[in-house]
Structures are given as C-alpha cells and as structure tokens.
Chain A
C-alpha cells in the first residue's frame, strides 16, 4: 500500500542549526513527492516538489529511491521556519490522489 511516514512529530532546534525533516515512502511505481508547509494561522501551501529540484527558502529535498526517502534539509534554521511540515506522495493511476504523512512540527528557538 502507498504510505508516507514522517517519524518525528516534533523537531526542536536553535536558530542557525541545521535541520533535517525525515520522510519515507512506500510506493510501487515511480513516486512524485512534495513538501507542504503550514505556518501559524495560514493555509497549507506547497514548499517544494522533487521534480523541480529547486531550493525554496533555503530548503532542499532529494529523492533517494534506494532508501525510499525524501528528507527536507536546511543548513541554517531561522525562527520564521517554525511551522508544520507535511511530506506528500502523489499516487497516480486511476484517479490521482495526494497522500500525506502525519506531519512534523518544526520549532526554531532563538
């Protein structure tokens, strides 16, 4: 079955420290993976997608098919990065569906 696992409910770091939010997936086909972010009192929004191989707000994520992972990384965390982060898998075939992980709350302390 298709599944997205985010093992950490909460990740707490200090400003300037490196950040890695973990995401593992199970999917039999070729995965399309995304990271969504929800800042306090704002709506959920797309942060980045693996096919773009882009860096958004200093965040990057590399798809590792061997380890079935799509970890989100940032070398130096900022306080404004504090938010809820969701890893998501696009499941194609038939009707397309976006499957979310349980989410990780990132808290960046001054």
Chain B
C-alpha cells in the first residue's frame, strides 16, 4: 500500500517556468490538499479538494492551480514560477476529519 506518492522529490526551476507537481493516493480518500512548508511559518494550505471535480482555495493560492479529475490524483500546477515559491510542498489525503496522510514532499527551488 503506497499511501500518498509525490513526484518529483526535488526540482529546480528558472523564474517564469511552469511545472506540475504530481500527487497520487491509493486509499480512496475523498479529501486531498496541498501545503507549502516554509521555515517559521509551518504548513500553509494552498488548495484543497473534497472530491473529484471539486476544488477550492486555501490560504495561499496565488500562483497555483489545481484540478481533481479522479479520486486518486491531485496535481498542483505552478503557472509561472517565482523565487517566492521556493519551498517544500506536501500533498495530503484524508478519509474524513480524523487523520491526514502526507506524501514525502517535493523540495522546489526557483532561481
């Protein structure tokens, strides 16, 4: 049982480039979310989804897009990368309000 899988683990982008961070879960969870982790700021919610076809914005959505075409996948798209988006990104899934399961994270550097 793989749980939550994120790819890639590391990525370096140039300012202005776009890319997609992949997230897949095999637990049939309805809830999925993306967080960014920055020193001294904890985890901040970027976007989340409560089921296929339903997404909404979190605390820091600017510069990011998401879609949820299937229960399993929840990709995060950076439209035009900026140095301020240098961070560690975590995807999480949850069956309900009791526990969130996290991926291993993607360390993104924008130069």
Residues of chain A touching chain B, judged by Cβ–Cβ distance below 8 Å, are 4, 6, 9, 32, 34, 36, 43-46, 49, 86, 90, 92, 95-103
- Of the listed stretches B16-24, B37-45, B68-76, B79-87, chain A binds B37-45
B residues 1-21 in Cβ contact with A at 8 Å? 4
Residue ID in chain B nearest A46 by CB atoms: B99
From the candidates A34, A43, A45, A100, name the one contacting B43 in the complex (CB within 8 A): A100
Please name all residues of chain B whose beta carbon is closer than 8 Å to the beta carbon of A46 when the two chains form the complex.
99-100
Inter-subunit contact A44/B102 (CB<8 Å): yes
Inter-subunit contact A96/B43 (CB<8 Å): no
Q: Is B108 an interface residue (CB 8 A)?
A: no
Residue ID in chain B nearest A9 by CB atoms: B40
Residues of chain B touching chain A, judged by Cβ–Cβ distance below 8 Å, are 4, 31, 33, 35, 40-45, 48, 50, 56, 58, 90, 92, 94, 97-100, 102-105
Query: How far apart are B7's CB and chain A's nearest CB, in angstroms?
Result: 14
Inter-subunit contact B42/A101 (CB<8 Å): yes
Closest 7 interchain pairs by CB? Answer: A102-B42, A100-B43, A44-B102, A100-B42, A43-B102, A46-B99, A43-B104
Please name all residues of chain B whose beta carbon is closer than 8 Å to the beta carbon of A98 when the two chains form the complex.
33, 45, 92, 94, 100
Query: How far apart are B87's CB and chain A's nearest CB, in angstroms?
Result: 14
Query: How far apart are B91's CB and chain A's nearest CB, in angstroms?
Result: 10
Inter-subunit contact A97/B105 (CB<8 Å): no
Inter-subunit contact A100/B35 (CB<8 Å): yes
Residue ID in chain B nearest A102 by CB atoms: B42
From the candidates B42, B45, B97, name the one contacting A90 in the complex (CB within 8 A): B97
Query: How far apart are A47's CB and chain B's nearest CB, in angstroms?
Result: 11
Inter-subunit contact A96/B45 (CB<8 Å): no
Inter-subunit contact A44/B42 (CB<8 Å): no
Query: How far apart are B49's CB and chain A's nearest CB, in angstroms?
Result: 9
Inter-subunit contact B42/A96 (CB<8 Å): no
Query: How far apart are B68's CB and chain A's nearest CB, in angstroms?
Result: 13
From the candidates B48, B97, B103, name the one contacting A32 in the complex (CB within 8 A): B97
